[in-house]
A and B are shown apart, each in its own frame.
Chain A
Amino acid sequence: MKVIATIRKEFLLLTRDPGGMAVIFLMPLALVIVMCLIQDNTFRGWQETRMEVLLVDEDHGALSASLERTFQNSPNIRLIRKSGSEPLTAEAAYRLVRSGTYGTAVIIPKGADAGLRDNTKRAVTRLLAHYGFVDEKYNEKALPPVELQILFDPAIKANYKQTLSSAVEKMLIRVQADGFMDEVQKHLSKATQKNKIDVDFSQMITVNAQDASGGDRQGIALNAVQHNVPAWSMFATFFILFPLAGNFIKEREEGSMLRLRLISGSQFPVIGGKFSFYLFVCLLQLAMMIGVGLFVMPLLGLDRLILGTNYIGVLLTGLSVAMAATGYGLLIAVYFKTPQQALSFGAISVVILAAVGGVWVPVFIMPEIMQSISPYSPLNWGLNAFNHLFLRNVSTAAVLPELCKLISFAFATLAASILIHKSRTVT
């Protein structure tokens, strides 16, 4: 009954504190939404981000047409061919990229197509002549290579540069292969008086890329919503220490805690009641933020949060995270003597635990040293469990190690809180 009375008292105190309610419910919602919107592009990467590329075509040959076709077939690239009403020049493109107006420019120099054809013809003739298939003269001296130029804004991300360069090189290999085959067929056709045939190199070998997860999980990737909703929800949940520690220390300073100390009996109902109430609040926070991931994010043009099918696992993970967050908040509340100490230490420590745990950026892109520290953060345990459940749709048993760590952390902090509170009852 004493625990229930404390829960009821905490409920009344919170519902009469609009500022506290805003900190608990509105701020986390705003945080999750803002972080998802901000990080959306970062998570989408080059494949999903639309990019404007300047194309300076000084050649107007088949090579230009092929490159243009490649870029046009990519939904993520928009080609810009003109500066105002004038066709782009190499100088203008250099100026525009250097100023940061555009990220990239591709320059096809005059004579590029002819140069590529000459190089291919020479290579094929030399090859066939070497084996005695043709008796044609060719230039012994190698021709200079055709040089396409790609200009990048120095501020552009390295993976964008790499991906765009790879796309151009891939296209050039295909053009070279087509040119090579065309030149070979020209010689063979002449020798055998037979017509050329179409040879499609693109269908000789294909790559079948798929996620190593269940059949119904294909295409579910770590996007801004999948990462940020659980990550920032947990971050906000750990910030429960603000109202929890704030109220606890206020009660101590105002004297109501003194009266509770003057009342005989165990201090467990006081601590246990607070723990139970704030645990429920944390669960409510998590449920609300998952609801935002499911229903609000799609309205903002973001991906919908995919929960997987193991709802029991999600519930247990939410409960474990809420327990760990409440336990930590309670320990901060009990240990520190002033709100300034508690809230400063609490806030900074949660930010550090979140950063280390992979809330800000996923652990796999952290430096090695941080990756080795990361497994010690409770937020990392929670995030791993959520990722396992959401992205890999695993069973509850698979996330049990993470849940055990979270629950152990919660009990350790709760026990420490009770001991510290009890030790301070008699000073």
Chain B
Amino acid sequence: MTDSPIITVSGLSKIYKGSQKPAVDQLSFVVHEKEIFGLLGPNGAGKSTTIMMLCGLLKIDSGSIQVFGLDVRQKSPEIRKLIGVAPQEIALFPALTAYENLFYFGRMYGLDGATIRRRANELLEAFGLIEKAGVQVIQFSGGMKRRLNLIAALLHHPRLLILDEPTSGVDVHSRKMILDYLLALKSNGVTVIYSSHLLEEAEKICSHFTIIDEGRLIQEGNLADLLARSGGSRNLEEVFLGLTGKEICH
């Protein structure tokens, strides 16, 4: 049985200033509650632009986005309270320690000191970083930074988590830790939008896939649907190559 939709994107379009070609072109999809939704596409497909519009940080040229029944155009501050975003960039202060970063972002989420301490310890423990809580982020490995980037998005218990390339450039150990945690979040009722070009990884954790290219939706459905429609593909990567005709940039 399908859970109720929490994101409805309809006819979404965006053209950047000075560009003739739309970054997102008449894109429509629905994200249901408690699913890990894979937003897939080659580099430059429009994934990050779509995510920025979902968060209300980029103006929508046409179309609409409803998140938790609220219109992004009018209610983006309210929506941002309910979502956690781990952007593609390592959005942390390198000179601060892991704990100082979390404490600052926790404060900016409006959490009190005791809640931040409890939540930070809990998440640092879960992601294997508790020993590094007092170490400056600049000294972290790429994988550790990615994990902390994700922790910062989870501090305020978001109902919807949006991840843009969350495992980009990380080691196997960090990747497993992140993916396991995402599956655990799903089972706890958190909805995840997972944007990546790492198809093997997406195949393992996503329950629904939306493949976009050049800003347009080219295919969506669960893995079984996609494989069936592709006519002989054995996995998501083959489906993707068949649809986009493009190599994945690893």
Q: A258-B87, A259-B87, A262-B55 are in contact. Are A5 and B107 (CB under 8 A)?
A: yes
B96, B100, B104, B110 pick with most chain A CB within 10 angstroms: B104
Q: Would you list the 8 A-B pairs with minimal beta carbon distance, nearest first?
A: A255-B89, A5-B107, A264-B80, A259-B91, A255-B91, A264-B81, A16-B95, A262-B85
Q: Do A263 and B89 touch across chains, with their CB atoms under 8 A apart?
A: no
Task: Please pick, from B80, B95, B108, the residue contacting A13 in the complex, using a CB distance under 8 A.
Answer: B95
Bound-state Cα–Cα, A254 to B80, Å: 21
Q: A13-B96, A254-B90, A265-B108 are in contact. Are A259 and B152 (CB under 8 A)?
A: yes
Bound-state Cα–Cα, A264 to B108, Å: 8
Taking CB atoms, residues of chain A closer than 8 Å to B91 are 254-256, 258-259, 262
Inter-chain contact count A-B, CB under 8 Å?
Answer: 79
B78 adjacent to chain A (CB < 8 Å) = yes
7 A-B interface contacts by CB (under 8 A): A254-B91, A255-B91, A261-B57, A262-B80, A263-B105, A264-B78, A265-B77
Q: Do B108 and A2 touch across chains, with their CB atoms under 8 A apart?
A: yes
Taking CB atoms, residues of chain B closer than 8 Å to A66 are none
> Interface extent on A, as a size class?
20 to 34
Q: Do A426 and B89 touch across chains, with their CB atoms under 8 A apart?
A: no
Taking CB atoms, residues of chain B closer than 8 Å to A114 are none
Instruction: For the complex, count residues of B whose C-beta is within 8 A of A.
Output: 31
Q: Do A427 and B58 touch across chains, with their CB atoms under 8 A apart?
A: yes
Q: Do B89 and A12 touch across chains, with their CB atoms under 8 A apart?
A: no
A424 nearest CB neighbor, chain B only: B57
Bound-state Cα–Cα, A227 to B200, Å: 70
Q: Do A1 and B57 touch across chains, with their CB atoms under 8 A apart?
A: no
Bound-state Cα–Cα, A177 to B152, Å: 92
Q: A259-B87, A264-B80 are in contact. Are A426 and B100 (CB under 8 A)?
A: no
Taking CB atoms, residues of chain A closer than 8 Å to B80 are 262-264
Bound-state Cα–Cα, A259 to B55, Å: 11
Bound-state Cα–Cα, A16 to B101, Å: 14
B77, B90, B100, B108 pick with most chain A CB within 10 angstroms: B108
Q: Mask for A223-264, Cβ within 8 A of B = 1, else 0? A: 000000000000000000000000000010011101111111
Q: Shortest beta-carbon distance, A337 to chain B, in Å?
A: 14
Q: Do B76 and A426 touch across chains, with their CB atoms under 8 A apart?
A: yes
A8 nearest CB neighbor, chain B only: B104
Q: Do A9 and B57 touch across chains, with their CB atoms under 8 A apart?
A: no
Taking CB atoms, residues of chain A closer than 8 Å to B90 are 254-255
A270 nearest CB neighbor, chain B only: B108
Bound-state Cα–Cα, A282 to B40, Å: 49
Q: A254-B90, A427-B58 are in contact. Are A263 and B109 (CB under 8 A)?
A: yes
